[in-house]
Homo-oligomer: A and B are copies of this chain.
Amino acid sequence: MFYHDNKLQYTVRVDTPDPRFARLLQQAIGGVEGEIRVMLQYLFQAWGNRGPTKYRDMLLETGTEEIGHVEMLATAVALNLEGAPASLQEQAATTNPIVGAIMGGMDPRQYLSAGMAALASDANGVPFDGSHVYASGNIAADMYSNVTAEATGRALACRLFELTDDPGMKDMLRFLIARDTMHQQQWLAVIEELGGHKGVLPIPNSFPDSEQVQDVAYDFFATGIEGVEPPAGRFTSGPSLDGKGEFRLRLAQPMGQEPKLAPPIPQAYAQTEQLLGADAMSADATTSVITTDPDDTK
């Protein structure tokens, strides 16, 4: 179960409130790269954890930390919505500072729906969506998912850092950026503990290699038509990362058939002509003249 105190994990200070920045911070709260997502993701991974409990404990520790990050950001939003900075007022050429702020780029729902506070939404007002809470039951898949969340989350925080000149906001972001550094490390350290590439790949490593079509398991398929040069890299030759195969580059070609579906069943209420088959429809078909001259378009 959970406890709280009344202080923030790190100082949140806004020297010059900026309603526009309050909107942008929403991405770090309710966006796909945001803190509600990692909070729920780590907690759900912990709650569903099966196998060694060590990682359950770790996930619970960090999931709990993330609740406090949402708190910091929600506080930052509320503080940025206080006052109506002169610059916005002037630019808006209006005596109503809220109209000016909204016209200047504030999220209107922070006023209309929340009375000047944060929402559980992203920077475009799209509500947080629980389908981004990844907890797959496979520890390696989850660790990579967590690295992704912290990598996109740190990129987001760095970009927010660019968008503000406020010393308080910059200080808060410096803290959050540092925590994302650690959290990236942390999830990758689990991958190391599990043996790195050779230990965890392919994920899941509990499916027998012999059950997959081994012949295509280390082939890079080039799908470009004739004349398109396929890329070359670590992934087109040399030993595979799991040490079990050799990379190859291969031109993609159909190995399958032309699909043939049965005619519609009567209960599907297709058109009668679909039930009758091709002849019913093709009376008008005529021979077409094919043009290939690209200059026709000029």
Q: Complex: how many Å from CA A152 to CA B249?
A: 25
Give 27 A-B contacts (CB < 8 Å), ordered by A residue: A1-B254, A4-B64, A9-B255, A10-B256, A20-B102, A27-B113, A47-B78, A52-B281, A79-B261, A83-B262, A99-B163, A111-B267, A127-B130, A132-B132, A136-B155, A137-B155, A138-B155, A144-B144, A158-B204, A181-B201, A181-B212, A182-B219, A193-B284, A203-B271, A206-B269, A225-B225, A232-B287
- Type the 1/0 row for A158-202, where 1 means its CB is closer than 8 Å to any CB of B: 111111010000000011011111101110111011100101111
Asked if B129 contacts A218 (CB within 8 A), the reply is no
Asked if A78 contacts B223 (CB within 8 A), the reply is no
Name the interface residues of A267-298: CB closer than 8 Å to any CB of B. 267-275, 277-292, 294, 296-298
Q: Which residues of B contact A54 (CB under 8 A)?
A: 231, 233, 278, 281-282, 285
Asked if B225 contacts A201 (CB within 8 A), the reply is no
A38 within 8 A of B: no
- Type the 1/0 row for A17-49, where 1 means its CB is closer than 8 Å to any CB of B: 000100110010011110010001001100111
Q: Which residues of B contact A181 (CB under 8 A)?
A: 201-202, 212, 217-218
CB < 8 Å neighbour of A227 from B5, B75, B274: B5
Evaluate whether A264 and B116 lie within 8 angstroms (CB atoms) in the complex, with A40-B36, A139-B274, A213-B174 already known: yes
- Type the 1/0 row for A99-134, where 1 means its CB is closer than 8 Å to any CB of B: 100111101110111111111111111111111111
Q: Which residues of B contact A49 (CB under 8 A)?
A: 261
CB distance from A220 to the nearest CB of B (A): 7
Evaluate whether A120 and B44 lie within 8 angstroms (CB atoms) in the complex, with A115-B137, A132-B132 already known: yes
Q: Which residues of B contact A218 (CB under 8 A)?
A: 181-182, 185
**Known contacts A140-B271, A181-B201, then 7 further A-B pairs from the complex at CB < 8 Å, ordered by chain A residue:** A9-B252, A9-B256, A51-B271, A78-B259, A83-B262, A123-B125, A189-B235
Q: Which residues of B contact A53 (CB under 8 A)?
A: 278
CB distance from A94 to the nearest CB of B (A): 9
